[in-house]
Chains A and B, each alone.
Chain A
């Protein structure tokens, strides 16, 4: 598992009922099922990835995230995960609302467009930023949304969503220790948020 997947893994309680949106080959779900006795469901569009996840014994819906989410009753899951996928969905607000409807809590992670490397790239080079996190050209990127950590906080505030936890993710531990939360938009490569619907 990658660092952010380990962080996600640590956030999820034993025996949770988990849905992973854009689950890929089901690496995270597989760990949760085997290490934490979780009950897992995946949604994934890519056929080959679906097969990998299915081969691991995970039930997967091949198709659109929103189409899949709509089928579940309110509160079906304990945790809904949208990891590194928010920047690729057409209708992020609908997806977030649906996640908070079908699940008691939701975790969202995304590449932070406010990261200093991205800002520096644009400032000095003048081209659309390309970094390790955002490696594509502007014309072929699957990342159709550009999100910063501040953007996400604002979106939650405007959409009746509580932020339960915000976990700054930077490569080096000292960055996480040294910088208070209000600088995370600058220092962290990925935003990791645990959210729920306000009552």
Chain B
């Protein structure tokens, strides 16, 4: 259960969507549980934007012995996404040509590039059946991209709170986040920009109801307004805390690259149509949406389910009725656990 690394031979042969190449690519990954002899018990988890390969750490109520994704039963693989900062090659890695970190010179990668790289690892592990590929948010995009790129491997696909086409609203939030970082980088304060980007992100992960319930209009230190410009509301303190906490664990250049990868994600544009992208698949699909998600809305998930229904795919659409917004799938939600377990047990 420690992180492992796999260095892709001939990494430069992998052609990125941008047309650029990386001299070296190392994939950092975790595995949990045992691979059975027939290699038929593989579950691939794709992490959301700021997750890592340690799925048991960021999805502790879902992945583990006896849990919905039962590591006593399944061999669970999770890789750190290409362009990230938790072990897999990304902007903070050393560029072998210059012997310095890539930083802004790192190629702008896509969700499809992330999957291309993951496929190298799966091939290296000798796996040719994936019982389930699952992920929330950016992870759901990778799960869908997996079906598009390698449908022959995928027996079931579970995108949660995700979309086939990132909406202009979501692009806008990520764009402002990146702008905050880029502007601050000019004066050498990139980290301050990252903190603001993270705060903005957190707003999109919550919902109006969740903020009302958690913070309402409560003030942090006093019941009386102080009539100064410093943070007073609890919601401000919360966002500041989230921004600061993020700096210790995330690289600002990786944040730029990963959010741009998300902004580019559009299966229809990449493949011509949803039918061309995933219509040839015989996988079972479970499309999960969260009612209060305003980042990747339930309607977007529903649109995916509708297209799969029209294509006569084995598809279920389930809504988690929750006030907690986009992040519902990451918090301790009984419904999320139940849905994943029911689906997995039926496979």
Contact = CB atoms under 8 A, between A and B. Distances in A.
B218 to A, nearest CB: 32
Given A59-B284, A71-B306, A72-B310, A47 B346 contact: no
A68 B345 CA distance: 25
Nearest to B310: A71
A47 B335 CA distance: 9
Nearest to B318: A62
Interface residues of A, number: 19
Contacts of A57: 346-347
**Chain B, interface size: which category?**
20 to 34
A168 to B, nearest CB: 35
B342 interface: yes
B2 interface: no
Given A47-B335, A51-B338, A56-B346, A62 B319 contact: yes
A68 to B, nearest CB: 7
Contacts of B317: 60-63
A47 B321 contact: yes
Contact of B342 (A41, A51, A68, A76): A51
A55 to B, nearest CB: 4
Interface string A137-150: 00000000000000
A158 interface: no
Task: Please report whether the interface of chain A is mostly helix, strand, loop or mixed according to DSSP.
Answer: mixed
Contacts of A41: 309
Contact of A51 (B306, B312, B339): B339
Nearest to B286: A54
A56 B335 CA distance: 17
B322 to A, nearest CB: 11
Contact of A47 (B284, B310, B314, B318): B318
Contacts of A32: none
A108 interface: no
Contacts of A63: 302, 317, 319
Nearest to B315: A59
Given A54-B342, A54-B343, A54-B346, A59 B310 contact: no
Given A47-B318, A54-B346, A61 B338 contact: no
Interface string B293-324: 00000000010011001101011111101000
Interface string A7-36: 000000000000000000000000000000
B318 A50 contact: yes
B235 to A, nearest CB: 30
A21 to B, nearest CB: 13
Contacts of B302: 63
A55 B309 CA distance: 19
B309 A72 contact: yes
A60 B343 CA distance: 11
Contacts of B319: 47, 62-63
23 contacts: A41-B309, A47-B318, A47-B319, A50-B316, A50-B318, A51-B338, A52-B342, A54-B318, A54-B339, A54-B342, A54-B346, A57-B346, A59-B284, A59-B314, A59-B315, A60-B316, A61-B317, A62-B317, A62-B318, A62-B319, A68-B309, A71-B306, A73-B310
Given A41-B309, A59-B284, A60-B316, 12 more contacts: A47-B319, A51-B342, A52-B342, A54-B318, A55-B343, A55-B345, A55-B346, A57-B347, A60-B318, A61-B305, A62-B316, A68-B309
Interface of A: 41, 47, 50-52, 54-57, 59-63, 68, 71-73, 76
